Structure formats: structure tokens, C-alpha cells
Amino acid sequence: MSHEEPLTRAEMQSGLDEECAGIHQDSFRQRPQLDAPIGRTILSLDEQAKRAKLINWASNDYLGASGQIKQKNAGRAALRTWGTGSAAARLLAGGLSLHRRFEQRLATFLETEDALLCTTGYQANSAALVALMGDPEDVVILDRLAHASMYDGARLSAGTMLRFKHNDVADLEKQLKRTQGARRRLVCVESVYSMDGDEAPLQAIEALCDSYGALLYVDEAHAIGVFGPHGRGCCAELNIKPDILIGTNSKSFGSQGGYIAARQSVIDLIVNRGRSFIYSTAPAPAAIGAAIESLNMLREDAELGASLIQRCVEFRQALQAQGWQSVEGRSPIIPIIIGEEKPTLELSHELRQRGHFIPAIRPPTVPPGQCRLRISVSLAHKQSDLNKLLKSLDELKSFNA
Ligand SMILES: Cc1ncc(COP(=O)(O)O)c(C=O)c1O
């Protein structure tokens, strides 16, 4: 300890005040106050409590499921039957047959032996990585741009964490060669990356897992519902069988709750060793009732994802024609990369003045110098919304570095 005298409680409190005051104005985060259901549009309250109706380009509800009558009715029915909360962890009094029904239907949908429902996708990653990486001899190799919940799960686990350059198969192979003596190796990727919207080279990664002896762990949070037959994800589209598949109800399902789909023994291991699953209250019934309805929606309509992808491809082309720097791809996550924080915040503000809600994405969510607007296109948008955004961006071309 560098202090000769122990700090008093008051000194520690002022240390917190100073640290908070030291956050640079450009990086300081505020909690938005949205004053109506989150859907195609939102009602935003500014600091003077003035309401503004804005088109919402920041939602992960890619299929517009959260506003659907069927999902709302299913949520209501579950709430009426089961009450407002689950009131305990899954392994205690919170384990409802409703939760199990969701898992069984999900496992059938994803064609895996079993599935495990968690309270959030963040929790699912944490539970899975802690359970699977139980020994310092275990190695988890993460794509550098993997979601924070995978990093945090890897850090909480007993295993050793390594990273490879984003989507760089040669760098992954280097890490696999370096770790040949490990007890267990897990290669962790997202199928669609949450901030860039690009896709992992899953076939090449699976081939490396096969040739070097590693388990394949794929977070399909942004792909389920959009890609693959009936929205079963990128792995299903490519006929890849990951050892662990992670997803969340909070995106295309328009609800809440995370999940792990895998072989029976992997699920049983996580049930027994995944601390964030074991020690947290089970998801609220209404959320799971609505999520089951979203599964029905995907089973019944095979075209939802394809029509969204078509819309996104056309929108990307229009952005590129205006000269904005984005990331190649076909997913509904379409970033406009600006670079520094200040102009990114200014562009977000200008778009807000023109009726669009697109918060600036800044470090630590993305690396320094990579600040961006993350546009998220949904089936809930009207074509006129997309046209309006393109018109506004055209007016703001001067922000385009
Ligand atoms: C790739 C990825 N995994 C996991 C999560 C966490 O999901 P949830 O919001 O359900 O906690 C997210 C959400 O932002 C994500 O983008």
C-alpha cells in the first residue's frame, strides 16, 4: 500500500467523486429515458423532460417480435398463469415447467440434444465458460471482438484466456499450435459480431477445431431468427455443429432470457457447475411465454430472415453509394464508422434533431478510434423510415471523414 495512513471512509468517498468527475465529458454515459414501449419508434425525454418521437435504429429486435400481438398475448397468459416472477433459482423453487417447455422446444428447433435457459445471454456465457473451463490447464481462445459476456465468463473461469485477431484464421491456428498440451481447448466466436455486423469464417474455424482438437463455441445471439433455415442461425445455414451454441431471447425473440444448446452431458455439466445459472433467479414467466411464441413464429414462417437480409443488403448499398465507411456484410447490424468520440456524438445529435435515435458507440464497447453509429435495421421499420434516414445522412455528409 502506498498510503502511510489508512484512508478514512470520507476520503474514500471523495476518491469516488474525483474518479467520477475525471471521466471525460465526451465519454460520460447517461441513462436514456424512453417514455413509451420500445418499437419502430421511441419517445425520448431530454434533460428538460421534453418528449421527442424518434425512429428507433438502436434495437436488437430484428423481427419486430416484441410488438406482435401473439407475443404480447402469450406473455400476458404466462403472467396470469405463473405470476410476475419466478421467485427463486431454477434448481430451487424457481424451476417451472414453463422454463422446461421452452428448453425442449428450443432444442427441437436447433436440433440439439438439450438446451438450458438462463436469465440473460450474459449469464448464459458466464455459466457455460465457468462450467467448461474448470482447470488452469484449460484454455479458452476468444476472437478479439467477442462480446464482453464471453470475456467476463472466461475471466471468471479457472482456465487460461488467449485471444486471436478478429476473424483471422491464421492467428487462431498460431494460438492452437501454442497450446497443444492443454487439457481442454475452447474456441469462442460469435457467428455475427455485435458491433461490426460481420460474420465469422465458421467453416474454416470448425476445420481448425477438428484438426487441432478443440471444442467449438459459437454465440449466435445476433444470428438466430435472421440467418439459416427458419432463422436457426449461421451454424445451421452452414451445416456446422458447434459443441456449444449460445443465444438470447433479447434480440430476434423480442423478449428476455439467454440459452445454451448442446449435447446432454454439456448441458448437465453447466447445470451443475455454471455458477451464474445456479445462483440467480429464473427468468420471469411472461418473458418465456413470449419467447415460446417467437419460436412458433419462426417455425411457421420461413421467410422472415430472408426478407430482413434483403432489406439490409439494399440499405448497405445505399450507404456505400453515399460514401460512408461501413463493414461489408448482410446482417441487420450496419455500423457507420466515424473514428473519434466527438464527431460521432455530434453526428448522433444531428440525426436526433432529424428524428432518428442512433446512440454513439464508444470505447470500451469498441476500440479507441473506432467510434461509430450502430444502425440496426428491423422488419418493424417501414421503407419510408429507411428512406428518411438515408436523406438525413446525405444532409450530414460533412461528418464523413
Ligand atoms: C453476442 C452477444 N452475446 C450475448 C449477449 C448478452 O445477451 P443478453 O442481452 O440477453 O444478456 C449479447 C447482448 O448484447 C451479445 O451481443
User: For the segment 237-254, what is each residue's pLDDT rounded down to a tens digit?
Assistant: 999 999 999 999 999 999
Q: Are residues 173 and 295 in the same domain?
A: yes
CATH code, domain carrying 35: 3.90.1150.10
Q: Are residues 54 and 76 in the same domain?
A: no
> Quick one: average pLDDT of 302-308?
96
> Quick one: average pLDDT of 57-83?
97
Q: Is the CB of 61 under 6 A from ligand 1?
A: no
Tell me the pLDDT tens digit for each residue of 155-187: 999 999 999 999 999 999 999 999 999 999 999
Q: Bin 285: left if φ > 0, else alpha if -120 < ψ < 50, else beta.
A: alpha
d(CA 62, CA 222): 9
Strands 215-219, 244-248: pairing is parallel
- Domain annotation covers residue 329: yes
Strands 356-357, 51-56: pairing is parallel
pLDDT of amino acid 106: 98
Report the separation in Å between the CA atom of 148 and the middle of ligand 1, taken as the mean of its atom positions.
8
Q: Considering the entire predicted model, what is its pTM?
A: 0.95
**Residue % of the chain over a pLDDT of 70:** 98
Q: Is 3 exposed, middle or buried (0-12, 13-18, 19+ CB in 10 A)?
A: exposed
Q: Are residues 184 and 292 in the same domain?
A: yes
Query: Which contiguous run of DSSP H or E holds residue 368?
Result: none
Would the pLDDT of 341 be above 60? Answer: yes
Asked if 70 and 290 count as a contact pair (C-beta separation under 8 A), the reply is no
pLDDT of amino acid 401: 61
Q: Are residues 183 and 329 in the same domain?
A: no
Q: Are residues 351 and 382 in the same domain?
A: yes
Would the pLDDT of 1 be above 60? Answer: no
Q: Are residues 122 and 214 in the same domain?
A: yes
> Quick one: average pLDDT of 95-119?
98
> Quick one: average pLDDT of 42-52?
74
Asked if 166 and 201 count as a contact pair (C-beta separation under 8 A), the reply is no
- Which of 60, 62, 122 to mutate for ligand 1's pocket (most ligand atoms within 8 Å of CB)? 122
> Helical H runs in 66-218?
69-82, 97-110, 121-132, 148-156, 169-178, 202-212
Q: Is 357 exposed, middle or buried (0-12, 13-18, 19+ CB in 10 A)?
A: buried
Q: Are residues 269 and 122 in the same domain?
A: yes
Asked which of 266, 283, 300 is the last residue of a domain, the reply is 300
- Domain annotation covers residue 14: no
d(CA 85, CA 75): 12
- Domain annotation covers residue 139: yes
d(CA 195, CA 242): 22
Q: Which of 15-24, 26-35, 130-139, 328-337 has the lowest mean pLDDT?
A: 26-35
Report the separation in Å between the CA atom of 222 and the middle of ligand 1, taken as the mean of its atom positions.
8
d(CA 378, CA 305): 10
Q: Which domain holds residue 328?
A: 30-59+303-399
Q: Is the CB of 267 under 6 A from ligand 1?
A: no
Q: Are residues 222 and 362 in the same domain?
A: no
Q: Are residues 367 and 384 in the same domain?
A: yes
- Domain annotation covers residue 19: no
Counting from 1 in the atom list of ligand 1, the atom nearest the Cα of 194 is 16
Asked which of 300, 329, 346 is the last residue of a domain, the reply is 300
- Domain annotation covers residue 6: no
Please state the domain count of the chain: 2
Q: Are residues 184 and 319 in the same domain?
A: no
CATH code, domain carrying 90: 3.40.640.10
Q: Are residues 314 and 210 in the same domain?
A: no
CA distances, 137 to each of 132, 157, 263 (Å): 12, 11, 23
- Domain annotation covers residue 43: yes
Q: Is the CB of 190 under 6 A from ligand 1?
A: yes
d(CA 153, CA 245): 15
Q: Can you read off the three cell numbers belonging to residue 33? A: 429515458
Q: Which of 51-60, 63-72, 212-221, 269-278 has the lowest mean pLDDT?
A: 51-60
Q: Is the CB of 258 under 6 A from ligand 1?
A: yes
pLDDT of amino acid 47: 62
- Domain annotation covers residue 4: no
pLDDT of amino acid 326: 87
Asked which of 237, 265, 300 is the last residue of a domain, the reply is 300
Q: Are residues 214 and 203 in the same domain?
A: yes
pLDDT of amino acid 355: 94
Q: Is 211 exposed, middle or buried (0-12, 13-18, 19+ CB in 10 A)?
A: exposed
- Domain annotation covers residue 184: yes
Mean pLDDT taken over the chain: 94
Would you please indicate which residues are annotated as catalytic (active-site) residues?
A: 60, 147, 190, 194, 219, 222, 251
pLDDT band at 49 (very low <50, low <70, confident <90, very high): low
